[in-house]
Structures are given as C-alpha cells and as structure tokens.
Amino acid sequence: MKREADLVVKNCGQLLTLRSTDRTPRRGSALADLGLVENGAVAIRKGRIVGVGSASSVESSIQPVATCREIDAGRAVVMPGFVDCHTHTCFARYRLDEYEKRVRGVPYSEIARAGGGIAKSVADVKEMDEETLLEVSEKRLKGCLDHGSTTVEIKSGYGLDLDNELKQLRVIKRLAEVSPAQVVSTFLGAHAVPGEFRDRREAYISQLIHEMIPLVVDQGLAEFVDVFSEIGVFTTREAERILRAGISAGLKGRVHADELNDTGSAEMAVRVGAVSADHLTKINTRAITRMADSNVIGVLLPGTSFGLPSLDFAPARDMVERGVAIAIATDFNPGSSPSESMPMMISIACSHMGLSAAEAIAGATYNAAFALCRAEEVGSLEVGKHADFLILDCEDYREVPYRFGTRIVGRVFIGGNEWKGDSS
Ligand SMILES: [Zn+2]
C-alpha cells in the first residue's frame, strides 16, 4: 500500500540518508558510511519521514495528498539536521576581554585568577534575571538553528548554587517549549567548585548530591547529569560519586573528561555507564581501548581547542581506528568555543583532527543522536524518524569542511517545517 505524503523533497543531487543497518553507533570504517543516494527524494507526512531513497523508489511508494507540497532541491546535498550534543547555550554574556588576552598568550589559569573564566560566566548569570536570560539564550539557540542544528543539548553550570542552577534549567525547559528545535537538558551543577566553597569542597559536593540532584529530578528539569572532571575542578573520584548519585536518581550520565590532563575520567565514564565522555583531548591509549569496548560515545569538541587557541586536539584518528564511537559537537560557550556552527566544527575536525568529511558528518548527525539517546528519532533520514533535514548550498558533501567559515547551510527543516530565522 502506498503511504500518503504531504511534503516531497525531490532532485536531491546527493541525499545523505545516514541510514543504519544495525541501529548501533558507527565505529571504525563504518563511520564513513553516509548512506549516500544519488538523485534521491524524501517524502514526509505530518512531520515524519514516510519515504526516503532514490527518486524512483520514493515516487512509486507514496501517494501525495491533495495539499502536498513539493520542494525542488536543485541537485543540492540534502542531509539530516545536525545534532549538537554538547553546548552551554544558556549563558548571559560573551567574554570578549578574555579572548583578547588568550590570543596574546595569557594562560587560562591567570585569567581565572583574575576572576575570569567560568567564574565570570557564573557571576553574569547570577546577575541576570530569568526573563532576560531566556531572551538572550533564545537568540543564541536561534543562531544554532540558522547553522543547521535541529537537536541541541544545553547544560546548566553557570549557576553553581541551587537557585541559579534551577533558574538556568527552567530557562532551558522554556527554550524546549518555544523552540522548534529539540532541546535536551543537562544538569551541570558540578561545572566548578564555587569560590565560596574553595576550602570546604565536600560541603558543595554534598549539596550537589543531597539537595540539588533530588530537586532537579523532582522538578523534571534535566535528563542528564554532567561533571567537569579535571585537575583543580572535581577529582575523578569526586566526579564518580556525583555521577553515580545522579544516575541512581534517574538521570543519565555524561562527563567532561580528560580535557586538559589525563585524569582517568574517560575510563571512569565507562565504569559508571555514562552515555558519553566529552573532550578527551588528553585521553591515553588504554582509555581509548576501554571506550572502544564500551557503549560510551566519545564526544569531540574541535572548537574548544581552536578557540582557546591551542594546538592540542583529541586523537580522533586513533580513536576511530581503534573503534571508539565518536561524535562531534560545538561546546558552544562564552569561553573557549563561542561558535554555534556545526559546519565549522566539521571543518576543524577534518583539518586538525584528521577525520574525513564523511566521518565528521556522521559524527555530527548519526552518532551524535546516540550521545543524546535520541537515535530512534533523529540523526538520520529513515522512515519513521523526524523530518529534520538540511538542503545545503552545495552539490558535494565534501564542500562542508572544505569551504570553512562560509554559508553552507541553505535551508533548514524541522519536523517538515521550514525554519526561516526570526520570521519562522
Ligand atoms: Zn562543555
């Protein structure tokens, strides 16, 4: 029986379906499989995909309804919307002065001592009322959509006290309600030890475990719990305690792991059964092997190294070859990576981490959906999934990394509806 369609996208020169053969994250040589169909088409009904593949196969399997709209992709690349699985989009202000200092070579530790870094963003969020924070965060989230992200994870972590963490999480919840994008919320109360707890860090950890996590769960404000495990922030043991508390309260785990130092936190992520371990700039070979043998997604954040600026990039090539399921995200934040552009992250991942265009694109869509436990819904163009797709301003997908910093995302569709920026 033919399926009814109310929207058909035709004339897709390269249709990147990212279709799955086994519904598991892509590893090793499979990562480069984009499920590419030349001269493809996509059929949609009520925001879901009902047909996808070659133009002839889609045409013969669907029945357009009377009001069916047709879009001619003009031989362009059509692909799934990006899944940005690691962002800090809910922040109050940019930190421009710090960038000026960093590019002149002032170390982050010195900037932090002078009250900059995460502490500055915490002070900014505390000072801003909830409505204004919503307004500025919504503007930024729109920027993510403009660059083709149709699913966006957003973390708290600039509150670092009960009231302000809940304030951030409420803003993230409201963003999920007002934005056409799918927003996934993460509680990151363990982003730093607040200054006032410097000499009694155990008191803050106890507050996180016994007060904040239960309230966040009670109020349904987050799906994930995250911890910044790093020298000078939370030790691996502390991070493990916080994660285990979150997981046993019903949240799913993710970790800022092995970013500036090899602390064993990627292996800890495997041990606690986290969904992802993120950053991994300093991950060692043993931890790479452990991750490869696990279900933990390795989320790579090329923009963070690029923006610091640093020549240290995560060993992506080695991770792929050893079988780690990697994903790519922006880490959009006002410190190290003030960019919401997934195409730019793909460019950096290719130029500085040695990934191929196909590998980076699969990491930014299909595998990233696994990093958010959304693989049943998004990340590929397959029958039954959300009709979240992009029509690119190019005819060859390899242009995505190649033409870095240019406008490569032409049209953005979420649930079959076109996103037209503020006029949507
Ligand atoms: Zn982060």
Residue 294 and residue 201 in one domain: yes
> For the domain that residue 403 is a member of, what is the CATH number?
2.30.40.10
What global pTM score does this model have? Answer: 0.97
Residue 35 and residue 64 in one domain: yes
Give the alpha-carbon dihedral of 23, 24, 25, 27, to 10 degrees.
-120
> For the domain that residue 215 is a member of, what is the CATH number?
3.20.20.140
Residue 290 and residue 400 in one domain: no
Q: Is the model's pLDDT at 422 over the cut of 80?
A: no
Among the listed residues 187, 178, 182, 155, the one whose alpha carbon sits nearest the alpha carbon of residue 379: 182
3-state percent breakdown (helix, strand, coil) of the chain, nearest 5: 40, 25, 35
Give residue 88 CA to ligand 1 midpoint distance, Å.
6
Give residue 299 CA to ligand 1 midpoint distance, Å.
10
Q: Is the model's pLDDT at 373 over the cut of 60?
A: yes
Average pLDDT, the chain: 97
162-178 vs 130-146: helix crossing angle, rounded to 10: 50
Give residue 41 CA to ligand 1 midpoint distance, Å.
37
pLDDT digits (tens, 9 = 90+) for 251-285: 999 999 999 999 999 999 999 999 999 999 999 99
The values of phi and psi at residue 34, to 5°, are -95, 0
Position 5 scores a pLDDT of 98
Residue 172 and residue 207 in one domain: yes
Is-contact 287 266, C-beta < 8 A?
yes
HSE toward the beta carbon, residue 286, CA cutoff 13 A: 6
Element (H, E) at 138: helix 130-146
Give residue 422 CA to ligand 1 midpoint distance, Å.
27
Among the listed residues 276, 385, 253, 255, the one whose alpha carbon sits nearest the alpha carbon of residue 325: 276
Position 423 scores a pLDDT of 64
Question: What one-character DSSP code corresponds to residue 6?
Answer: E
Give residue 86 CA to ligand 1 midpoint distance, Å.
6
Give residue 329 CA to ligand 1 midpoint distance, Å.
10
Mean pLDDT of 367-386: 98
Give residue 387 CA to ligand 1 midpoint distance, Å.
28
Provide the residue range defining the domain that includes 231. Answer: 82-371
Is-contact 213 187, C-beta < 8 A?
yes
Tell me the C-alpha distance between 357 and 72, whole Å. Answer: 25
Confidence tier at 309 by pLDDT (50, 70, 90): confident
Q: Is the model's pLDDT at 112 over the cut of 90?
A: no
Out of 354, 371, 388, a domain closes at 371
Give residue 68 CA to ligand 1 midpoint distance, Å.
42
Strands 252-257, 276-279: parallel, antiparallel or unpaired by DSSP?
A: parallel
Give residue 217 CA to ligand 1 midpoint distance, Å.
21
Position 424 scores a pLDDT of 56
pLDDT digits (tens, 9 = 90+) for 320-353: 999 999 999 999 999 999 999 999 999 999 999 9
Give residue 124 CA to ligand 1 midpoint distance, Å.
17
Mean pLDDT of 371-391: 98
Residue 411 has a CB neighbour count (10 Å cut-off) of 18
pLDDT digits (tens, 9 = 90+) for 19-64: 998 999 999 999 999 999 999 999 999 999 999 999 999 999 999 9
Q: What is the DSSP code string of 10-32?
A: EEEEEEE----SSSS---GGGGG
Residue 331 and residue 408 in one domain: no
Give residue 181 CA to ligand 1 midpoint distance, Å.
20
Position 310 scores a pLDDT of 85
Residue 253 and residue 171 in one domain: yes
Q: Is the model's pLDDT at 187 over the cut of 90?
A: yes
Residue 134 and residue 275 in one domain: yes
Tell me the C-alpha distance between 299 and 279, whole Å. Answer: 6
Residue 188 and residue 260 in one domain: yes
Give residue 130 CA to ligand 1 midpoint distance, Å.
22
Give residue 15 CA to ligand 1 midpoint distance, Å.
32
Strands 182-190, 224-228: parallel, antiparallel or unpaired by DSSP?
A: parallel
Scanning the structure block, which residue is given the tokens 């309804």? 65
Element (H, E) at 254: strand 252-257
Query: Which residue intervals of 249-386 are DSSP H helices?
Result: 265-272, 285-292, 302-307, 316-322, 342-353, 357-364, 366-371
Give residue 312 CA to ligand 1 midpoint distance, Å.
16
Give residue 331 CA to ligand 1 midpoint distance, Å.
5
342-353 vs 357-364: helix crossing angle, rounded to 10: 140
Give residue 155 CA to ligand 1 midpoint distance, Å.
8
Residue 325 and residue 188 in one domain: yes
Residue 152 and residue 289 in one domain: yes
Residue 304 and residue 182 in one domain: yes
Nearby residues of 318 by Cβ (< 8 Å), 6 or more positions away: 285, 288
Out of 348, 371, 394, a domain closes at 371
State what percent of residues in the chain have pLDDT above 70.
100
Give residue 3 CA to ligand 1 midpoint distance, Å.
42
The total number of structural domains in the chain stands at 2
Element (H, E) at 226: strand 224-228
Q: Is the model's pLDDT at 222 over the cut of 60?
A: yes
pLDDT digits (tens, 9 = 90+) for 125-184: 999 999 999 999 999 999 999 999 999 999 999 999 999 999 999 999 999 999 999 999
Task: Tell me how long the chain is.
Answer: 424
Position 372 scores a pLDDT of 98
Question: What one-character DSSP code corresponds to residue 132?
Answer: H
Out of 351, 371, 391, a domain closes at 371
Give residue 421 CA to ligand 1 midpoint distance, Å.
26
Tell me the C-alpha distance between 322 and 320, whole Å. Answer: 5
Position 21 scores a pLDDT of 84
Q: Is the model's pLDDT at 82 over the cut of 60?
A: yes
Is-contact 165 159, C-beta < 8 A?
yes
